[in-house]
Every structure is written in structure tokens, then in C-alpha cells.
Amino acid sequence: MTAQYQVQDGIAVITLDNPPVNGLGHSTRLGIVEGMTRALDDAAVKAVVITGAGKAFSGGADIREFNTPKATQEPTLHSVIKVIENSTKPVVAAVHSVAMGGGLELALGCNYRVASKGAQIALPEVKLGILPGAGGTQRLPRVIGLEAALNMIVTGNPVPSEKFAGTKLFDEIVDGDVLPAAIAFARNAASASGPHPKVRDLKVRHENAEGFLAFAKNTVAAVAKNFPAPGKCVEAVAASLKPFDEGLRLEREGFMFLVNTPESRALRHAFFGERAASKIPDVPSDTPTRKIEKVAVIGAGTMGGGISMNFLNAGIPVIVLETKQEALERGVATIRRNYENSAKKGKLTQEKVEQRMGLLSTTLSYDDIKDADLIIEAVFEEMGVKETVFKKLDEVAKPGAILASNTSTLDVNKIASFTKRPQDVVGMHFFSPANVMKLLEVVRGDKTGKDVLATVMQVAKKIKKTAVVSGVCDGFIGNRMIEQYSRQAGYLLDEGALPEQVDKAIEKFGFAMGPFRMGDLAGNDIGWAIRKRRAVEKPDIQYSKTADLLCEMGRFGQKTGAGWYDYKPGDRKPYPNPQVNEMIVQHSKDLGITRRKISDEEIVERLVYALVNEGAKILEEGIASKASDIDMVYLTGYGFPLHRGGPMLYADQVGLFNVLQAMQRYAKGYHGEAWEPAPLIKKLAAEGKGFNG
């Protein structure tokens, strides 16, 4: 049973005991009801206290039961709260550490609530595209007021318990252990004559509810245009002004509507995908890990500096190695400037800036990094340069040090072969800017040790990255897929589109940035260098020549003020350039192509399905272990719209049968060879299945 029952001097204590956060799974809900029944049947029991074991009162629904019959099996949380509200003996919630979602709703169903200082209080359901479904939208406004409740429910952000002092949410807020205080409170409550208060009986009062709610609705509509949940939260909270049972019914209707929306499915998929990404099928969760107490970074450029900041932010000392003193000084100055800018914006105290800078040291000698536990190289993306670095690391690094490459495309197995310790070599592909972007592709070589993988995944959590494991292939997961996306973008130019139309269409779909704006930001010369390498390594892969012609014009992107678009000093807004558009049109003529009008729908399908098709091949080859890993790469590293859940989930929502039909249609057109469907897509479409089951 995941709820324990004991009696202390006439007070029954029901303790939720379902680690890690006392999720309100079926067994726990049953345990609460059974505990309440025992307490009510025992004449010696005068009151009941409900609390949580370990590090939480309750974090809400048990996520392990999501999408299973147990999630809705009786007693539901509604039924549990009904039992508590119907109790003839006072019920006190002893809230400590965390009371979120259903955990807070359970507490709101009790007669009284005693909280410990610093407990995190939240109704975060909106972050999963739903709304609180067990009376949270009706009870919270009754205890903290309409405005405060609406803000909490619409943002889903936690608030410390002491912020609610003086409201009816908590009857008492205590320092230290909350359970003895709650038992004492329950004893006093039992000695007072009833009836004991119920939150449902309180009235919601507001001087100008109508005006406030209209303002809230408009604000939410502007901010959350791709997500229906915040708007539905406003409607549900507005219903708290009605009689309680009617408000509860409207809350339920809103919940049932939202739970079936594609946006909620996308958010839940991302929520579970992030947790699933850290689980590697053949690396058990109890795999021993190595100690990482000192990190060395080779290279003080943009990437090396950004990587260093991640570790400094986490309180881990970093030593940066460079070949020239000026490069070191420039790199350290950039790191300090980034921290000073954060301080100016109030995101960091000056004390924190100095603390982090104090963890940073520099060197020009490999001998000074010999005691580092983790060494990450962030040098030029060329195999010869990597070879020099790794051979040197093999000589100086201590036994057991993890040697990581920040390569974005190169063969990690080949890099590992430059050492006598391939088991210690792993890819750690950070995304630029490395101190901001959440994604970390962890590239597993053929000989990478399981303890190395487990350690790197643990370190990723510490530096607040979403780590996704990839096997070794050209470009790993993200860049291998984006290559097909970029190829289609180029072909669209050859056939009749212009950069602005392509970018606008995919940005309207929800991407943060279209392919041509992205190229300008990254630097078109980088793509040019990759294509030149590809021409030697993979001459059968064809690209539109427009990007090469653009580079021959010296238009490398924002850094030169001219790329696919023009840029003005201090202005990142793209301005279409007539000469570039003329070059694109002329190139079509030179190819003998009659340009045609291309719909936005075709642009979106071709760009997104190119990602999906390559993603399916990556799954088949075992480069990614699950479809959700691919989606996490695209949601956290490539600006794929969160409300669509990533390319693989989006394909599932469209239906793989329909995706396959579109691909077969495009296979009859220009460069149709790029549309050979992955066998996995054909197989799943024939079976009526999706990538995610």
C-alpha cells in the first residue's frame, strides 16, 4: 500500500508513501480512502492529518499511470476529496516541500491546511496542455482570490508557501517539521465544536470580476496563441464565480476537451520524452558513474566559452586551454561580459559573477589539464585538428578521465581510435550558444564505456541540459536530419519559391526561424564548407547550387551584413535583396526549369516530411533508440514548434498513411530521388501504426 496509517494520541495520520514525489496513483488514492474509513470507524480517533513521506507532500498525479486505465480507476481524486469533505471529523493537510497539481487539490479538499515555510505550491497542469481537473480552478480562487489564483493556474509556476500568509489557503505556516504542528492543530480543531470549514462553501469575491476576466482573456490569447489550455484555464477560473457544483462541471468539461487536443498530446509527449531521453536501454540506472569535480575545455572561442559557462554556472571548476595568450584573454573577456550583461539585467548578483569567474582558470600548456576528470575539446571542425588534440590528450590525461569531442558531424569512432583508451571517448555535441541552448547530443562510440555514458548523462542534468544519446553517423541525429530539410529548401528555390516565402511559411507553422534566416545566422560559409566535403565523400547526394552561388557573392550571412537577406547594423531583421532573388530566378533558367507558384502547404510538407523520413531511417539504424529522442533533439535544439511535439509525433498526428501518400507524390517531381520512403514508414503505415505506438 502506498499510503500508511497510524494513530498518535487520538489523531489518525495518513502518510502518502509513493516515491519519488508521492504521486496520487490508484494505490495511493485507495490508501487515503481506506485510512479515512478506519479513522471514521474508530471512536478513539478525534481528527485526521494527511501528510507525505520523504521529500514531498504530493507532486500530483502519478505520471507512471498516465494513459493507462489506472489513471481514471475509482476512487478518482474527485472521489477521494468527496470522502474527505464528507468527514464528520476534522481533516488537516500537513503540507511540506512540494504540493503541486493533484497534491494541492487534495490539500484544498481538507478542512484545514498547515504548511512548512518554503514549500513549493503550484497547479502546473497548463504546462501539459490541460487544466487542474480535481477542483483546483474552483477551490484556489476561494482561498487566495480570483487574480492570484488565475495567475498561478495560467502560468503553472510554483510559489513558496510563505507568500500565502494571511490568506485562507494556509491556517498556519511553520518553521521546521510540519507534522507535529499539524497534529497539534488537529487536536485543537477536534476540541472545537463543528461544523468544520469547507473551501467549497466560500464565495469568490472581486470588485470588478468581469473587467478583470476580459483583460485576462485578451492577454492570454495574445501570449499563448498556439495553445488552447491557458484560455480554457481563464474560462474555468471564471466559473468559480458560479455555484460550486456548476463550476466543477465546467472545469471537468474544459479538462476533457483539452486532454484530447493535439497541443496537449504534444506537451505531454515532450514532458515524457525529456524523462525518457535519460534512460538508455542497455545502461542500467544503477550503473556506477565517475566523479566529475574538475573540467578542462580546449578552445576559448565562442563554443569553448559557452561550454565553460555551463560548468561554471553549476559550480564546477573549469580550466580553459588555448594555443595563444590573446585567444585566452579574448575568451575570458567574453565570458565575463556575458555574466556582466546578466547582472545588468538583474539575473545575477555581482557576487555570483565573481564567484563563477573565480572558478575559471586558463593555461597554454596541456600539462596543466592532466588532473581534469572531464576534458571537452571545442577546436576547429576538421579531422586532422581533432587527431592532434586527442593524441596529445592520450599522453597527458589521467587514467579514467573522460575525453569528449564537441564535433557536430565527424566520426567519433575515428576520433576515439587516436587514443589507446577508446572506452573513455564520447561525443558531447553542444549547440550554439552553448550556455543558452538546452540540447546536448551525447554521441556513443562503438567502444564508449557504459559508465562513461551514465556519467555524461548525469553531468548533463547537473548543467541543466536535455541530453539525447545518438549513435555514430554523419551529422548524428540533428544535423543529419537538417541536411535533408536544407536540401528541400534549396530545391524549392529552384522550382519557384523565394527565401522569404519559404521562411514565412515554416515560421507560420511554428518554427522559430526558417531555413534561410537560420543559414544567415549560422553563417552560409559553414554550409558551403560541408557541401564541398560532401562533394568528395558523397558525390551522389545532390544540392541546389543557389547556396554556393550566394557564397560566391561573398554573402555569408549576418556576420557580413549580407546573406540570403540584407541586414542593417544593430538590426537582425532580414530585408529581402533584389540581386539575390534575381540570382535565384536566373539559376532556374540556367537549369531549364519553368518556375511555378508553390503553396505554403507544399513548403511545410516538404520541409517537415524530409525531417520525418530521415528520422525514420535513424530509428531503423538504431542511431536513436526511440522516436521521442528525435523529437527532443528538434524541440530543444532546432526550434521545432513545441505545440506540434516534434517531427515524429507530428507525423503520427497527421497519420503515417497520409505522410507516405505525400512523399510518393513528391517522388514524382523535381529531385524525386530524395523522397524514397524509409522502409519503417511503409511498414508502420501499412499496419496503421505511428512511431509512438
Catalytic residues: 105, 125
73: DSSP letter? P
Return the ∠ at Cα 146 (arms to 210 and 159), rounded to 5°: 145
Rg over CA atoms, the chain? 29
* Nearest of 639, 650, 645 to residue 605 by alpha carbon: 650
**Cα separation, 251 vs 340, whole angstroms:** 46
Residue 168 amino acid letter: K
Helix (H, G, I), strand (E, B) or coil at 689: coil
Are 40 and 79 within 8 A, CB to CB? Answer: no
Reported as half-sphere exposure (CB side, CA atoms, 13 A), residue 357 has a value of 18
Helix ranges (H only) for 345-477 are 350-358, 383-396, 412-416, 450-462
- Name every residue whose Cβ is closer than 8 Å to that of residue 426 and which is 6 or more positions away in sequence: 402, 403, 404, 405, 412, 442, 443, 444, 445, 448, 452, 453, 456
The side-by-side arrangement of strands in the sheet containing 91-95 is 3-8, 11-16, 47-52, 91-95, 112-116, 172-174
Distance of CA 156 to the CA centre of its chain: 15
DSSP single-letter state for residue 442: E
List of E strands, 31-175: 47-52, 91-95, 98-100, 112-116, 120-122, 159-160, 172-174
Supply angle C-alpha 285, 471, 431, rounded to 5: 90
Cα separation of 127 and 104, whole Å? 16
Q: Terminal CA-to-CA distance of the chain, rounded, Å?
A: 31
Cell numbers for 110, please give them.
481538507
Residue 632 contacts residue 266 (beta carbons within 8 Å): no
Pick the closest to residue 56 from 149, 133, 121 (CA basis).
121
